[in-house]
Structure 1
Amino acid sequence: MQKPESAPRPSPLDHHYSGEHPLRTLAYLFRPDRHRLSLAVVVFAVKHIPVWLLPLITANIIDVVVDHGPVAELWYNTGVLVFVLVLNFPLALLYARLMSSSIRRMGRELRSALCRRMQYLSIGYHARVSAGVLQTKVVRDVEGVEQMTQQSADMGLAAIMTLIGGLAVIGYRAPVVLPVFLVVVPLAALLVRRLRSRIRSNNEEFRLEIEQLSSRVGEMTTLIPITRAHGLERTALHRVDHTLERVLSAGFRLDLLNGRFGSLSWILLNTMAVGCLSGSAIVAYYGWLGLSAGDVVMISAFFTALTASLTTLMNLTPIISKGLESVRSIGEVLQAPDLESNEGKASVDRIGGRIDFQGMGFRYPEATEHSVRGFELSVRPGETIALVGASGAGKSTILNLLIGFIRPTEGRILLDGADMASLDLRTYRRFLSVVPQESILFEGTIRENVTYGLEGGADEDALRRALLAANAMEFIERLPDGLDTVVGQRGARLSGGQKQRLAIARALIRDPRILVLDEATSALDNTSEGLIQDALSRLVRGRTVFVVAHRLSTIRNADRIIVMERGHIVEAGSHQELLARGGAYATTLQPRHSG
């Protein structure tokens, strides 16, 4: 019997992201590291002392030389500067350790939150949103947030510390020129404010184009076998090239805007620096305001450092804007409302296997008509039910409702007498297995694929019994590495019949009480179908089974065959009963199965 999965580790954003400003989200993400980050800021401030101390010491040394002051002052200033320079190395390592560990932890938790949210978002959501787009959010957007935080910390802290230290020294040594320095800050802030909104919109446009490109490339790689088989390489490349052109245009516009922004701020700030240098030199030349030669050098050095700091802060604007856009992009998943709600509902500890559909109906949100309506069916424990009908009859919708991927929009489904709307579907699915039309395998060994999700794996005897019952051992024993053979991405190294037998073994080893077979033999040749049918006959014993199939051999032995048209049941009975009745099954569907 399958062991239940252990409870998932809580994620920091499971219930906290509700569309607030991205900066608040970042603050919440870094909350566990707030003490570590505070210490990192203090360490950075100390290690950064030489940057704003150097102009002051340079001014002192020049004044000693010009005024022929005591030589001891020269050595004293030099010693202080050498000491703080040497101190920079251990402090830089400590800062890197503190800051990097916090940022990397944040990235891990953010990716964990995204992956967790994706697991709980409904199947309908995943049908609407491309897997490539979601992958981009987990990889590229989180990387963008990490880069923004790292660069903001390193470059932003350096600029801020230089500004604070420089202004403090100028206020102490030459307070008369302090107002001139303070003019630069509001002018720079005005420039940033005027351009920020446009940078944000361009970043959002570029991000959406990248997501579209990721979706297109994922689609292209999936369709390569079809593309090559029909000689459609140029068509496929044209679709991707069109998206690449849009990425190029959006990226080019963004780069031009960033370049324009950087150039304007550089010209503005350096023009002010030249004016400040010339003005202070004239004041010192005529002996006004008591400025010395050292003060002129200090003012010039500080103005260069402060303008560089302000330029850095303004150049950080597009980086921060891009990072915050990544936070918003991630938020599209974290705040998506289309969740499967299981919290606080009754846990399913055992299943008898009785299923009752009572006046059940379902309509997709975007649809004008119901996919299923007025569906009434009582299924006994251990009974095999086959659903047949033309495409669009509602068969797949019934299976999705049974699995719990979607919820009835009217009526209800009872599991052993309990309304499934009141049950924790995660615990219910421990007793359910699905064998789909295309077996989904991951790039791992046969052993790992068959025992996937079982806590602690499965013992060797149970694994071999399941594989034998699924008629899979006959091909596994011919493989060089046997059970440890790597199947390749999506099972690419195995045939369709071999993958399907592994899917049956995966279901058998879980010993499910409810089994769903969704076109499990439709894509197989006759030889493979015979092996699969033999394995399925063992799989269905003693279980409540729902089958959707188009082959007569798959459904003829079902206890009841349910014939559906446009979401309604039109006939129900065994294969022989329906043939004798001469209704829709006999006149319309049965000839399709005979081939």
Structure 2
Amino acid sequence: MQDNVIPEASTNKESISGAKTYLRLLSYVGSSWVYLLLSFIGYVLYASMEPALAALLKHIVDVVSEGTVTESRMIIPLAILAIFILRGIGTFLGGYFMAQVANKVVFDLRTNMFNKLVLLPSSYYNSIPTGRLLAKLTYDTEQVIGSITQAIRVVLREGLTVVGLLGYMIYMNWRLSLLFLLVVPLIGLVVSYASKRFRKLSTRIQDAMGGVTDVASEAIKGHEVVKIFGGSQYETNRFYDAANENRRSQLKMDKTRYLNVPIVQFILAIAMSILIWFALSPSISSGMTPGDFIAFLTAAGMLGKPIRQLTDVNSTLQKGIAASHSIFEFLDMKEEVNTGEIVAGRLKGSIEWRSMSFRYPEADKSALKNITLSLPAGKMLALVGRSGSGKSTMANLIPRFYNIEEGGLSIDGFSIDEYELNSLRSNIALVNQQVILFNGTIRNNIAYGYLSDTNEGDIIDAAKAANAWGFIQELDHGLDTMVGENGVLLSGGQRQRIAIARAILKNAPILILDEATSALDTESERAIQSALDGLMENRTTIAIAHRLSTIENADIIAVVDHGEIVEQGSHSELLAMNGAYAQLHNQQFSDAPA
């Protein structure tokens, strides 16, 4: 029952907000003003034919009543043809060029949203489900098409038609016309209530659609887990609930819309009845010929259709306003802060953490506490410890995926906040624990981004160094083989070798390896470890590893536990301490198969 309640205090604010949102949406129309002008001319042409049709009917009735049909026998059929031809031309011009405007607006919105998306901080990606984000880019923008194409088309075409017919009626008999205009405020009240209801329900439908895409996206990505752990029924129920919420909200929207139209029609019918009653009064209709009388009533009757369409389009308009609000809320989000002014060339790569603490946005406790560590340029730092201890967080702060609030982190003596973001990140190569490949060719995934213009010889050298060239050669299309979404057409080891080849090709002075060899078999791991050893020479490397055998040669090994560095030193030094590292080492090697 509460769905029908609209707080009185917020009503005016919502109305103003809706108007502002729609005006902002219309600002995107400016770049297509020529198409809009052509569309407007088409709708003016269409609308002017409606009173012309009523005027023609007046002429027909008058010539019939006066007995002068013969003189107009050729003119009247030609006039009818001319009216419908001109109306058809107006319909085409208005509809086609309005579609041009709408599609350009949606194109601009989608590209602006994606451009915004790639500039948002990492914290945003962690705070919103992928399906919800995709719904903004697809469903919300589709709703905007309706509010531009259909809504503006109806408002212009039917609005101009109403103006034309009312103008003609006032010209014929202004007193009767004023009686008809008395119902306009009543129609306005009905439309006003419906508008608020439509917008509220449209917002709910958008949220529900986001829930549908969330569940579907998770089920598709995790289909193997769903099958193995018998989650089919659970996921089916989740999707049913999300889809049912969307259905319920849509039905409420439809109920409001289908009640709105007959109520407006009933009000118009009352107005027409009163109008005819007065029109039949000799004192009011005196001086009107039979043609005038018929033409006036015809024009009044013709007002029903455009007024009905104007009220019916309100639901589409409100959907567009609700979608626009969601889109503009997204476009107004703060981008990743890039206040650094130092445009770095090739950095040396000395890194220092100074009493640094870090907490993820909206997290209850700190992920890192009072980290103090110095890594000279060209040296290797290995971060070890149990899962969730903060190793990856330490590495992710170096490219400034997140901003540090306490303490400091510097590279080559300058705080990372002082570096311009692109120049900082151009000096860092990264191999994630969860390998990210894009739905393209192997060539495009190795030579990605900054590296897209790399010649084929260098790409092949990088693939060889990553021990990937052997399997690439065996594929039917070699480097031009498509890898599928996130590399689904390749094995886990093959995906990881391509990611390593990408890092090798970048040849950056700072290298971050987050479990870079975790998906490889023993033979491939040895080959790649040898390649990585060569790659790490004269480069500052931060390697995160669970297998301690891969980092025994690191210059510095830091043991991270509960966000703190509990031990640091070389492999031999830490073993001699007989502390946390020695315990991890003994546990791994005692568990290793003989």
Counterpart position of 2:251: 252
TM-superposed CA distance for 1:229, in Å, is 1.6
Please give the secondary structure, in 2, of the residue aligned with 1:340.
coil
**Residues 206, 254 of structure 1: 8 Å contact kept:** no
TM-superposed CA distance for 1:192, in Å, is 0.9
Distance (Å, rounded) in 1 between the aligned partners of 2:384 and 2:472: 34
Counterpart position of 1:497: 493
TM-superposed CA distance for 1:446, in Å, is 0.9
Distance (Å, rounded) in 1 between the aligned partners of 2:588 and 2:70: 106
Bigger CA drift: 129-138 or 568-577?
568-577
Q: Does 1:192 align with 2:188?
A: no
TM-superposed CA distance for 1:20, in Å, is 8.9
The Cα offsets for residues 518-564 of structure 1, whole Å up to 9 and x where unpaired, read as 12223443344334323322332321111111011222121111111
Correspondence list, 1:328-339, <5 A:
328-337=325-334, 339=335
Taking structure 1 as reference, are residues 593 and 266 closer, same or farther at Cα in structure 2, changes over 3 Å only?
farther
Q: Does 1:406 align with 2:405?
A: no
Distance (Å, rounded) in 1 between the aligned partners of 2:305 and 2:510: 68
Distance (Å, rounded) in 2 between the aligned partners of 1:251 and 1:99: 27
Distance (Å, rounded) in 1 between the aligned partners of 2:291 and 2:423: 77
Taking structure 1 as reference, are residues 522 and 229 closer, same or farther at Cα in structure 2, changes over 3 Å only?
same
TM-superposed CA distance for 1:175, in Å, is 2.2
Counterpart position of 2:281: 283
**Residues 497, 532 of structure 1: 8 Å contact kept:** no
TM-superposed CA distance for 1:265, in Å, is 1.9
The Cα offsets for residues 15-47 of structure 1, whole Å up to 9 and x where unpaired, read as xxx999312321321222335423431332024
Counterpart position of 1:143: 142
Please give the secondary structure, in 2, of the residue aligned with 1:454.
helix
Bigger CA drift: 417-426 or 95-104?
95-104
> Which letter maps to 1:357?
W
Bigger CA drift: 270-279 or 540-549?
270-279
Taking structure 1 as reference, are residues 372 and 69 closer, same or farther at Cα in structure 2, changes over 3 Å only?
same
**Residues 462, 501 of structure 2: 8 Å contact kept:** yes
Distance (Å, rounded) in 2 between the aligned partners of 1:155 and 1:19: 19
Taking structure 1 as reference, are residues 143 and 514 closer, same or farther at Cα in structure 2, changes over 3 Å only?
same
TM-superposed CA distance for 1:71, in Å, is 4.4
Which residue, 361, 366, 389 being the options, matches 2:385? 389
Distance (Å, rounded) in 1 between the aligned partners of 2:346 and 2:187: 67
Q: Does 1:421 align with 2:417?
A: yes
Please give the secondary structure, in 2, of the residue aligned with 1:407.
coil
In the alignment, structure 2 segments of 5+ residues that lack a partner are 1-16
Please give the secondary structure, in 1, of the residue aligned with 2:567.
strand
Distance (Å, rounded) in 1 between the aligned partners of 2:346 and 2:432: 24
Distance (Å, rounded) in 2 between the aligned partners of 1:379 and 1:236: 47
Counterpart position of 2:203: 204
Counterpart position of 1:300: 297
**Residues 98, 153 of structure 2: 8 Å contact kept:** no
Correspondence list, 1:510-549, <5 A:
510-549=506-545
**Residues 19, 335 of structure 1: 8 Å contact kept:** no
Which residue, 301, 321, 340 being the options, matches 1:324? 321
Correspondence list, 1:356-505, <5 A:
356-454=352-450, 456-505=452-501
Q: Report the identity percentage.
A: 31
Q: Does 1:228 align with 2:224?
A: no
Please give the secondary structure, in 2, of the residue aligned with 1:295.
helix
> Which letter maps to 2:26?
A
Distance (Å, rounded) in 2 between the aligned partners of 1:367 and 1:114: 27
Taking structure 1 as reference, are residues 523 and 497 closer, same or farther at Cα in structure 2, changes over 3 Å only?
closer
Bigger CA drift: 260-269 or 33-42?
33-42
Bigger CA drift: 292-301 or 498-507?
292-301
Distance (Å, rounded) in 2 between the aligned partners of 1:273 and 1:496: 74
Please give the secondary structure, in 2, of the residue aligned with 1:111.
helix
Distance (Å, rounded) in 2 between the aligned partners of 1:344 and 1:559: 31
TM-superposed CA distance for 1:88, in Å, is 4.1
**Residues 563, 571 of structure 1: 8 Å contact kept:** yes
Taking structure 1 as reference, are residues 218 and 298 closer, same or farther at Cα in structure 2, changes over 3 Å only?
same
**Residues 51, 162 of structure 1: 8 Å contact kept:** yes
**Residues 436, 520 of structure 1: 8 Å contact kept:** yes
The Cα offsets for residues 277-298 of structure 1, whole Å up to 9 and x where unpaired, read as 4543x237x9842233223322
Please give the secondary structure, in 1, of the residue aligned with 2:43.
helix
Correspondence list, 1:584-595, <5 A:
584-588=580-584, 590-592=586-588, 595=592
The Cα offsets for residues 302-361 of structure 1, whole Å up to 9 and x where unpaired, read as 222212211111111111111100001112311223x31115733223211111212211
The Cα offsets for residues 177-226 of structure 1, whole Å up to 9 and x where unpaired, read as 11122123222111111232222211111111111111111011111111
Distance (Å, rounded) in 1 between the aligned partners of 2:64 and 2:349: 96
Taking structure 1 as reference, are residues 480 and 104 closer, same or farther at Cα in structure 2, changes over 3 Å only?
same
Counterpart position of 2:119: 120
Please give the secondary structure, in 2, of the residue aligned with 1:414.
strand
> Which letter maps to 1:166?
L
> Which letter maps to 2:208?
E
Taking structure 1 as reference, are residues 590 and 305 closer, same or farther at Cα in structure 2, changes over 3 Å only?
farther
Distance (Å, rounded) in 2 between the aligned partners of 1:287 and 1:566: 91
In the alignment, structure 1 segments of 5+ residues that lack a partner are 1-17
Distance (Å, rounded) in 2 between the aligned partners of 1:580 and 1:19: 70
TM-superposed CA distance for 1:92, in Å, is 4.2
Taking structure 1 as reference, are residues 141 and 54 closer, same or farther at Cα in structure 2, changes over 3 Å only?
same
Taking structure 1 as reference, are residues 171 and 508 closer, same or farther at Cα in structure 2, changes over 3 Å only?
same
> Which letter maps to 1:323?
G
Please give the secondary structure, in 1, of the residue aligned with 2:381.
strand
TM-superposed CA distance for 1:74, in Å, is 5.9
> Which letter maps to 2:333?
A
Bigger CA drift: 529-538 or 245-254?
529-538
Counterpart position of 1:99: 98
Which residue, 342, 346, 359 being the options, matches 2:342? 346
Correspondence list, 1:34-53, <5 A:
34-53=33-52
Bigger CA drift: 340-349 or 580-589?
340-349
**Residues 95, 153 of structure 2: 8 Å contact kept:** no
**Residues 176, 289 of structure 1: 8 Å contact kept:** no
**Residues 340, 418 of structure 2: 8 Å contact kept:** no
**Residues 571, 584 of structure 1: 8 Å contact kept:** yes
Distance (Å, rounded) in 2 between the aligned partners of 1:541 and 1:65: 102
TM-score, normalised relative to structure 2 = 0.91
Taking structure 1 as reference, are residues 345 and 147 closer, same or farther at Cα in structure 2, changes over 3 Å only?
farther
> Which letter maps to 2:390?
G
The Cα offsets for residues 251-305 of structure 1, whole Å up to 9 and x where unpaired, read as 222222222222322222234334434543x237x98422332233223322222
